[in-house]
Amino acid sequence: MKKDIGGVPYDQNLFKSIRSEFPALRGLEERGIVLCDGAAGSQMHQSAIQAMVESASRRNSNVGGSFSFSSDNLDAFTHARRTMGAFLNCKEEEVVFGSSATALNFHMSRSIGRTLGRGDNVVVTCLDHAANVGPWETMAAEAGAELRRIKVRHQDCALDMDSVRSCIDSRTRLVACSAASNLVGVIPQVQEVVSMARAHGALSYVDAVHLAPHALIDVRQLGCDFLVCSPYKFFGPHLALLFLREGLARSLPAYKIRPATDDLPSFSNCQGSRWEMGTQNYEGIAGAAAAVSYIASLSGRQREEKERSRGTQEPPSEGLSLLRASLRDSYSLISQHESLLSDRFLSGVRSIPAVKVHGPTADQHGRTPTFAISMTGADGQPIPPHVLCESLVEDGIWCSSGNFYALDLTETLGLEEGGGVVRVSFLHYNVLEDVDRVLRSLDKISKRRSAKARTQ
């Protein structure tokens, strides 16, 4: 899934101005702090926080009651499911909410596992987060199916297409593949993998958790059967959602207990779904929908403002196609901004010889602004990632270190034993000055270590 660079006029100031709309970011700049840990989770936009507060304070109720709190909550829930359908480009009944991507994947694996038999195989990649590996590993083991792993090329962390071809065959039942790596930021050839899975009659399960804040998701274009993402990575609350293709949503044996209906969700059945059990996280879901509206507003703020002043709550189909069009334009702006951030980081880091960037270093459109780095000390030995990370954090660069559950990838790259990498990951609320600050800090740490070595 390549990032779309469209023709919307880009203005860097937009991304400077929106920072104040993220309450948690306020005051950080004044304290000399650069928050660059976006791949672990974004900060929430104020509208998402507000939507959660409103849900809890104005209509806190279960759905299905005959009083206004309950019907207002059902309206909001319906609106949120439609919004998420527009976000993913699917029907509202194809949207499943859950507590986390990991939990949704594991839940789905319980159902898909019932359709597997001996001699079947399941394919995962060495690029993926454990959330899109572990459930399938367990499922395959329980069903007596074989688990195969698609290899990753060392030099750029792209998927090895020979390995893709040799893993997927007529006995493949499911192929799980990442849409973007949370460790090295590569955007792999997921479209080809999905097409190959389909050509062999296998299901495809796409993890778009890392991609979602960076590029527009389009499940129809991708042609996948499942796609998962988590609003806490795209400016909303801790929650997850899944696209589950309608035919499968109806036909797969649901692994469920009461209270969960046998239906797909609709307004008339109070949004009851055979894939969602018990009472839903209404306030989180409202916050997630607001996060999507925020992203859409980046390109269409004025249009939205007009709608609000007209009191248009939720225009049905034109509203949703307008939302989708605004999202497309917004992601185009985000892409242009993030490409600048990536370019600045990648070109700047070249002048700090002690720093190595793992993963793609050339094509900034085939990656997100997430960088896995290592630094060598004056003795030529790698500095343990947690030590480098501590130095950066002491200097106000808030990032993290480790393998970030992309264990197969750190092992493939030979980094696992040494403690993984330091991950510096930007989001659209980061600006070029943040990148420069990170580069200065890396340079300073590298020079300080060399100077210290000389005096020893």
Ligand X SMILES: Cc1ncc(COP(=O)(O)O)c(C=O)c1O
Residue of the chain from 129, 214, 274, 437 that contacts ligand X (CB under 6 A): 129
Distance CA 384, CA 427 (A): 26
From the list 50-58, 203-211, 412-420, 445-453, the region that binds ligand X by CB under 6 A is 203-211
Beta-strand pair 370-375/421-425: antiparallel
Q: In angstroms, give the least distance from the CB of 209 to ligand X.
A: 4
Nearer to ligand X, 375 or 413 (CB): 413
Q: In angstroms, give the least distance from the CB of 182 to ligand X.
A: 3
- State the angle between helix axes of 432-455 and 385-394 in degrees (0 to 180), rounded to the nearest 10: 120
131 binds ligand X (CB under 6 A): yes
Query: 259 and 270 in contact (C-beta within 8 Å)?
Result: no
425 binds ligand X (CB under 6 A): no
What is the DSSP code string of 398-433? E-EEE-TT-HHHHHHTT-TTTT-EEEEE--TT--HH
101 binds ligand X (CB under 6 A): yes
Residue of the chain from 73, 102, 293, 335 that contacts ligand X (CB under 6 A): 102
Residues near ligand X (CB under 6 A), total: 13
400 binds ligand X (CB under 6 A): no
Distance CA 78, CA 271 (A): 7
Residue of the chain from 186, 240, 241, 445 that contacts ligand X (CB under 6 A): 240
Nearer to ligand X, 80 or 240 (CB): 240
Distance CA 59, CA 71 (A): 9
Which residues, 165 to 184, sit near ligand X by CB under 6 A?
178, 182
Residue of the chain from 172, 230, 297, 368 that contacts ligand X (CB under 6 A): 230
210 binds ligand X (CB under 6 A): yes
Query: Which single residue is written with the structure tokens 């190959």?
Result: 196
Nearer to ligand X, 109 or 178 (CB): 178
From the list 4-12, 20-28, 204-212, 215-223, the region that binds ligand X by CB under 6 A is 204-212
Structure-token pair, residue 235: 């400016």
Q: Which helix (H) or strand (E) holds 246?
A: helix 246-251
Q: In angstroms, give the least distance from the CB of 442 to ligand X.
A: 23
Contacts by residues 68-76 (CB-CB < 8 Å, ≥ 24 positions apart): 73/282, 74/267, 74/270, 74/271, 75/314, 76/282, 76/285, 76/286, 76/289
Question: Phi/psi of residue 51, each to 5°?
Answer: -65, -35
Q: In angstroms, give the least distance from the CB of 391 to ligand X.
A: 24
Residue of the chain from 50, 61, 100, 266 that contacts ligand X (CB under 6 A): 100
Query: 323 and 86 in contact (C-beta within 8 Å)?
Result: yes
From the list 96-104, 114-122, 168-176, 339-347, the region that binds ligand X by CB under 6 A is 96-104
User: In the 8-state DSSP scheme, what is residue 27?
Assistant: T
Residue of the chain from 37, 92, 93, 207 that contacts ligand X (CB under 6 A): 207
**Sites of contact with ligand X (CB under 6 A):** 100-102, 129, 131-132, 178, 182, 207, 209-210, 230, 240
